[in-house]
Amino acid sequence: MKEKHLRASLLLLFLFLLLSSSPTLASPPPSHRICVIGSGIAGSSLSHFLKTYSPNPSSLQITIFERNLIVGGRTATVTIAGDTFEAGASIIHPKNLHALKFTSLLNLPIKTQSNKSDSSSWFGIWDGSRFVFKTLQPPTPKSGPPFYAKIVSFLNSLLVFGRYGFSLLRMERFVDKTVGSFLRYYENLESRPVFSTVEEMLKWADLYGLTRRTLQEELADAGLSRRLISELVTVITRINYGQNVSISGLAGAVSLAGSDSGLWSVEGGNWQLAAGLIRHSNASLHLHEEISSVSYTEGLYELNSTKGNSYSCDITVVATPLDEIKISFTPPISIPKRRLQHTHATFVRGLLNPAYFGLSSASEIPELVGTIEAPDLPFSSISILKKYSEEDMTYKVFSRIAMADELLDLIFSTRRETIRINWGAYPHYEAPEAFAPFLLDGLHLYYINAFENAASTIETSSVAAENVARLILSRIDPTSRSDIPTLESTGSHEGENLHVDL
């Protein structure tokens, strides 16, 4: 009996030692179900950063919901005559370091883009009745020796300089300074805080002031001539944001950076960034499933989709602009009113009508026709995407209003194929900007696209998504992320009367 008792005690002691010393039997870290609404670059890079930065990546179950049949959102492509063209985001800046890292991580091929408004390309500024400025047409590779192209490029630089003078250098300095400040968002994680509001994030990089004033005010203070602002700068803001120089200084600087040299894109379509990041981060993807409501009860978010499905999540991330979509939130959330700028992208295969531009031959029309602000000017830009022959080309037209057939038939002499896309493209920028918070309910409902009021690009979505990923990780397990410095919330209460309940 005594022996039996001793054996049982030894067994208990052994079990105790085993349980207290073996790491394999320690309780696993709590798992978190994270639901993401939107499979564009914001949702996909959020998924990537969560998995990359989490000390326990396997404890994160990420589900991404996408209302469309394809991922990528505003990085979609169109196909005309067997060729694929970017229909939304087409160019990426050489200093967009997240996008560069994604392409190398995913092994995606890069295509460099010629800058359409620099001296080596052929562009003209149309005011609705005449070209107020035109560069010289560069020779085609077949039409002259290689040095001839260099001479034309040099002459074009002189032409541009002759028209805008030293103001060009001041514009370059303004853009470089802004890009330099933006580069702070790539500083190492130990010294870079996690931000709970967009205002904090912008103030830290010294960019907030640029969202308080218009581009026009900023550039006039920087000493740019009126002519440069009303012509070249306006052409660029109309192409990149479909708006004029009353956009904020920050959105304006980002737009002007889009005419720098060294621009690139992913061969075959920038949407592959989103697709690759979703795959690489092992997120589960629900295509063609639109989320119609998000309700919070007893520590859980319930997401309902228009398919009638219901999902329970510990954390919900909105990775799409909330301005034009119908998601009902319970309890309701309150964010500043924001209107989206619609850009109509019209793709035409055919030939421009020279008579519309007061010319005798289509070959005299520059490859990029930019426009200034003028009443009744029906388009923002027209550019050649591909030349099949002198009579057959594919063009992209950007406009603020839809291009009706009657109008297209005036602008084009032949039209074999037309594709129209109406984008809720980016915010209609207004200075001073009011920002929604990254954290919508003080719990675990996050909003990446709050940052879009600063600027809207592939890279700004990724930078915002990185911050939201770090914010989530620091809030679900503050002890494991003690290296992440946080800022006390300094959320602005300005413009509270502008809030809208969803």
Ligand X SMILES: Cc1cc2nc3c(=O)[nH]c(=O)nc-3n(C[C@H](O)[C@H](O)[C@H](O)COP(=O)(O)OP(=O)(O)OC[C@H]3O[C@@H](n4cnc5c(N)ncnc54)[C@H](O)[C@@H]3O)c2cc1C
Nearer to ligand X, 66 or 367 (CB): 66
Nearer to ligand X, 227 or 279 (CB): 279
For residue 275, what are its two tokens? 């697709």
Phi-psi region at 269: left, alpha or beta (left = phi > 0; alpha = psi -120 to 50): left
Query: What is the number of other CB atoms lying within 10 angstroms of the CB of residue 480?
Result: 14
Distance (Å, whole) CA 139 – CA 153 = 10
Nearer to ligand X, 163 or 342 (CB): 342
Nearer to ligand X, 303 or 439 (CB): 303
What Rg do the C-alpha atoms of the chain give, in angstroms? 27
Q: Give me the least distance between CB of 306 and ligand X, in Å please.
A: 8
Nearer to ligand X, 208 or 426 (CB): 426
Could you give phi then psi for residue 117, rounded to 5 degrees? Answer: -115, 30
> Are 55 and 189 a contacting pair, CB within 8 Å?
no
Q: Give me the least distance between CB of 24 and ligand X, in Å please.
A: 40
Q: Give me the least distance between CB of 356 and ligand X, in Å please.
A: 23
Best CA proximity match to 153, nearest among 118, 124, 123, 125: 118
Distance (Å, whole) CA 291 – CA 303 = 7
Phi-psi region at 73: left, alpha or beta (left = phi > 0; alpha = psi -120 to 50): left
Q: For residue 371, what is the DSSP state?
A: E
For residue 167, what are its two tokens? 């103001």
Q: Give me the least distance between CB of 461 and ligand X, in Å please.
A: 4
Nearer to ligand X, 91 or 256 (CB): 91
Nearer to ligand X, 194 or 425 (CB): 425
Strands 412-427 and 340-352: antiparallel
Distance (Å, whole) CA 415 – CA 353 = 10
Nearer to ligand X, 123 or 357 (CB): 123
Nearer to ligand X, 276 or 353 (CB): 276
Task: State which H helix or E strand residue 11 sits in.
Answer: helix 2-21
List residues near ligand X by CB under 6 A. Answer: 37-43, 65-68, 73-75, 88-92, 290-291, 319-320, 325, 327, 343, 345, 423, 425-426, 449, 456-459, 461
Q: Give me the least distance between CB of 91 and ligand X, in Å please.
A: 4
Angle at 178 between CA 177 and CA 179, to 5 degrees: 95
> Max alpha carbon distance in the chain (Å)?
114
> E strands of 390-432, at which residues?
392-399, 412-427
Nearer to ligand X, 335 or 362 (CB): 335
Q: Give me the least distance between CB of 88 and ligand X, in Å please.
A: 4
Distance (Å, whole) CA 120 – CA 136 = 9
Number of H helices, E strands in the chain: 13, 22
Q: Give me the least distance between CB of 87 and ligand X, in Å please.
A: 7
Distance (Å, whole) CA 74 – CA 421 = 11
Q: Give me the least distance between CB of 14 and ligand X, in Å please.
A: 54
Q: Give me the least distance between CB of 309 and ligand X, in Å please.
A: 12
Q: For residue 436, what is the DSSP state?
A: -
Distance of CA 416 to the CA centre of its chain: 32
**Residue whose entry in the numeric block shows the structure tokens 């370059």:** 172
> Are 110 and 268 a contacting pair, CB within 8 Å?
no
Q: Give me the least distance between CB of 473 and ligand X, in Å please.
A: 20
Q: Give me the least distance between CB of 292 and ligand X, in Å please.
A: 7
**Residue whose entry in the numeric block shows the structure tokens 């790539």:** 186
Phi-psi region at 352: left, alpha or beta (left = phi > 0; alpha = psi -120 to 50): beta
Nearer to ligand X, 208 or 347 (CB): 347
Torsion, CA 474, CA 479, CA 485, CA 489, rounded to 10: 60
Nearer to ligand X, 38 or 164 (CB): 38
Q: Give me the least distance between CB of 213 and ligand X, in Å please.
A: 22
Nearer to ligand X, 195 or 426 (CB): 426
Distance of CA 466 to the CA centre of its chain: 13
Q: Give me the least distance between CB of 300 and ligand X, in Å please.
A: 19
Best CA proximity match to 41, nearest among 201, 275, 258: 275
